[in-house]
Amino acid sequence: MSLRLGEEFPNFTLNTTAGKFQLHEWLGNKWGILFSHPADYTPVCTTELSRAAKLAPDFAKRNTKLIGLSCDSIDNHHGWIKDLQAYGGPNIQCTGDTCKLVPHGEFPFPIIDDSERKLAKQLGMIDPAEFDSKGLPLTARAVFFIGPDKKVKASLLYPATTGRNFDEILRLLDSLQLSARLPIATPVDWKVGDKVMVPPNVTDADVQKHFPQGVEIKKDLPSGKGYIRMAQV
Ligand code: BEZ
CATH code for position 68? 3.40.30.10
Q: Determine the pLDDT at residue 136.
A: 83
Q: Is residue 175 part of a domain?
A: no
Q: Is residue 171 part of a domain?
A: no
- The answer on 106 and 206 residing in a single domain is no
- The answer on 193 and 81 residing in a single domain is no
- The answer on 104 and 46 residing in a single domain is yes
Residue 159 has pLDDT above 60, yes or no: yes
Residue 102 has pLDDT above 90, yes or no: no
Q: Is residue 150 part of a domain?
A: yes
Instruction: Calculate what percentage of the chain has a pLDDT beyond 90.
Output: 79
Question: From atom 1 of ligand 1, which residue's Cα is the shortest distance away?
Answer: 44
Residue 171 has pLDDT above 90, yes or no: yes
Q: Is 99 a catalytic residue?
A: no
Pocket-testing residue among 45, 51, 84, 136, ligand 1, by greatest number of atoms within 8 A of Cβ: 45
Q: Is residue 170 part of a domain?
A: no
- The answer on 151 and 46 residing in a single domain is yes
Q: Is residue 173 part of a domain?
A: no
- The answer on 140 and 90 residing in a single domain is yes
80: DSSP letter: H
pLDDT mean over 32-42: 96
pLDDT-derived band at 1, boundaries 50, 70, 90: low
44 lines ligand 1 (CB under 6 A): yes
- The answer on 190 and 159 residing in a single domain is no
pLDDT mean over 174-178: 98
- The answer on 129 and 62 residing in a single domain is yes
103 lines ligand 1 (CB under 6 A): no
Q: How many domains does the chain have?
A: 2
The lowest-confidence range among 100-104, 129-133, 201-205 is 100-104
Residue 118 has pLDDT above 70, yes or no: yes
Question: From atom 6 of ligand 1, which residue's Cα is the shortest distance away?
Answer: 160
Q: Is residue 177 part of a domain?
A: no
- For the chain, the DSSP string reads --PPTTSBPP--EEEETTEEEEHHHHHTTSEEEEEEES-SS-HHHHHHHHHHHHTHHHHHHTTEEEEEEESS-HHHHHHHHHHHHHHH--EEEEETTEEEEE---S-SS-EEE-TT-HHHHHTT-EEEEEE-TTSPEEE-EEEEEE-TTSBEEEEEEE-TTS---HHHHHHHHHHHHHHHHSS-B--TT--TTS-EE--TTS-HHHHHHH-TT--EEE--STT----EEEE--
Q: Determine the pLDDT at residue 76.
A: 97
Question: Which residue segment(s) compose the domain that 189 sits in?
Answer: 182-233
Residue 134 has pLDDT above 70, yes or no: yes
CATH code (residue 230): 3.30.1020.10
pLDDT-derived band at 229, boundaries 50, 70, 90: very high
- For 84-96, the DSSP string reads HHHHH--EEEEET
Evaluate whether 38 touches 71 at the Cβ level (below 8 Å). Answer: yes
Residue 93 has pLDDT above 80, yes or no: no
Q: Is residue 172 part of a domain?
A: no
Q: Is residue 124 part of a domain?
A: yes
Q: Determine the pLDDT at residue 49.
A: 97
pLDDT mean over 77-98: 89
162 lines ligand 1 (CB under 6 A): no
Q: Which of 164, 192, 208 is at the close of a domain?
A: 164
43 lines ligand 1 (CB under 6 A): yes
Q: Which residues on adjacent β-strands are paired with residue 126?
A: 139
Å from CA of 135 to ligand 1 middle: 14
Shortest-distance atom of ligand 1 to CA 161? 8
Average pLDDT, the chain: 93
11 lines ligand 1 (CB under 6 A): no
Shortest-distance atom of ligand 1 to CA 138? 6
Q: Which among 40, 11, 6, 5 has a CA at the least distance from the CA of 119?
A: 11
